[in-house]
Structures are given as structure tokens and as C-alpha cells.
């Protein structure tokens, strides 16, 4: 029962003849096609192209230094905020350390250690001002601040633990 589908359609469909003036009517309809839609699309395309040209021209003619400074400013501003927060925390922890201990040797030792880290931070900061897009320098700056803060917190915890042990040994009654 294999048959060609084309043959089935030829057999079942009555043959329709096109009207005599079909071609002429079709050509008339094409010439009368609404030009408004075509005109609207052309106007929209021209507007989009002009918008891109204006934006491109604006970006090209703006001074390069103002573009780079506007991009760098948020990064530098954020770095200064982070630096201020860390330095504030470091100062607070240093004051707590001075309140907890009376050992001048320990204070001098950690003061030298923090000064060394501070000098290293100043060098990194100077390099970062020259190369503000260097992420490695930014990470080193933040890491330096974290090391200073962690150093102070660890020595405070160590001193607190020592003080607790001394108090525990002093309160034993025999």
C-alpha cells in the first residue's frame, strides 16, 4: 500500500484555476503596500545608529585621564575605608594591650614588631599609589593590616590566659 503522497493530493484535490487577472491584481497590491511601516523601521534604525554614534563620540572625546581617574577613585576610596577600619581596630587593640600588661619588655618587643609591619605597609602603600590596578599589592596591603591586628589579638589572649593561671594559682587555700 505504498503510494506517493503527491499522487494522493493530485487525485483528491479539484484543480482550481487562478482568475485571469490574478497576476495583475497581485502586482497592484504590491505597489500599494503600506510604506508607513517601512518608513517607521527606517526612522527607528537611524535613531539607534545616531544614539550609538553620539555615545561613541562622547566616550572618545572625553579626556583619558578623567576616565581612568573615575575608575580608580572608587577603588582607592574603598582601600582608604578598609585601611581606616583596620587602623582603628589596631589602635584599639594596642590600647587594650597596654591596659592588660605592665611588662615593658613585652610592650617594646611588640612595638618594634608593629613598627616593622607599619614600615612595610608604608612601602606597599607607596607602590599601590603608583600601580593602583595591581590586585596583588592590594592583597598584600590588607594582609599586612590583618597580620598586625591578629598579632595584637593573639598576644592579648596569651596575656589573659597567663593572668587567669596566676589568679588560679594565687587563690588556692591550703
Give the model's pLDDT for residue 100. Answer: 80
| Inside any domain, residue 9 | no
10-residue mean pLDDT profile of the chain (174 residues): values are 75 71 83 68 79 76 53 71 84 83 83 89 87 82 86 83 68 50
The number of folded domains in the chain is: 2
Closest to 80 (Cα-Cα) out of 154, 9, 138, 158: 138
Give the model's pLDDT for residue 65. Answer: 46
SS (H, E, C) 81-146: HHHHHHHHHHHHHHHHHHHHCCCHHHHHHHHHHHHHHHHHHHHHHHHHHHCCCCHHHHHHHHHHHH
| CB contact at 8 A, 86 and 146 | yes
Give the model's pLDDT for residue 6. Answer: 79
- 96 with 137, same domain? yes
- 74 with 106, same domain? yes
- 166 with 138, same domain? yes
Domain of 38, in residue numbers: 22-61
| Inside any domain, residue 114 | yes
pTM for the whole thing?
0.51
- 32 with 113, same domain? no
Give the model's pLDDT for residue 171. Answer: 52
Give the model's pLDDT for residue 162. Answer: 77
- 70 with 149, same domain? yes
Closest to 105 (Cα-Cα) out of 159, 170, 167, 169: 159
Give the model's pLDDT for residue 38. Answer: 66
- Kindly tell me the burial class for residue 83, based on how many C-beta atoms sit within 10 Å of its own C-beta (0-12, 13-18, 19 or more): middle
- 39 with 91, same domain? no
Give the model's pLDDT for residue 167. Answer: 63
- 126 with 150, same domain? yes
Amino acid at each position: 500500500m505504498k503510494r506517493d503522497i503527491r499522487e494522493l493530493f493530485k487525485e483528491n484535490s479539484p484543480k482550481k484555476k487562478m482568475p485571469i487577472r490574478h497576476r495583475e491584481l497581485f502586482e497592484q497590491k504590491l505597489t500599494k503596500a503600506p510604506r508607513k511601516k517601512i518608513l517607521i523601521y527606517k526612522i527607528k534604525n537611524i535613531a539607534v545608529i545616531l544614539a550609538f554614534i553620539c555615545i561613541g563620540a562622547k566616550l572618545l572625546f572625553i579626556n583619558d585621564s578623567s576616565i581612568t581617574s573615575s575608575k580608580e577613585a572608587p577603588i582607592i576610596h574603598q582601600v582608604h575605608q578598609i585601611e581606616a577600619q583596620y587602623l582603628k581596630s589596631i589602635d584599639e587593640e594596642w590600647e587594650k594591650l597596654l591596659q592588660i600588661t605592665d611588662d615593658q619588655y613585652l610592650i617594646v618587643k611588640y612595638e618594634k614588631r608593629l613598627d616593622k609591619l607599619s614600615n612595610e605597609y608604608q612601602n606597599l602603600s607607596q607602590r599601590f599609589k603608583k600601580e593602583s590596578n595591581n590586585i596583588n599589592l592590594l592583597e598584600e596591603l590588607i594582609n599586612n593590616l590583618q597580620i598586625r591586628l591578629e598579632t595584637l589579638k593573639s598576644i592579648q589572649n596569651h596575656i589573659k590566659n597567663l593572668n587567669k593561671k596566676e589568679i588560679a594559682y594565687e587563690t588556692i587555700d591550703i
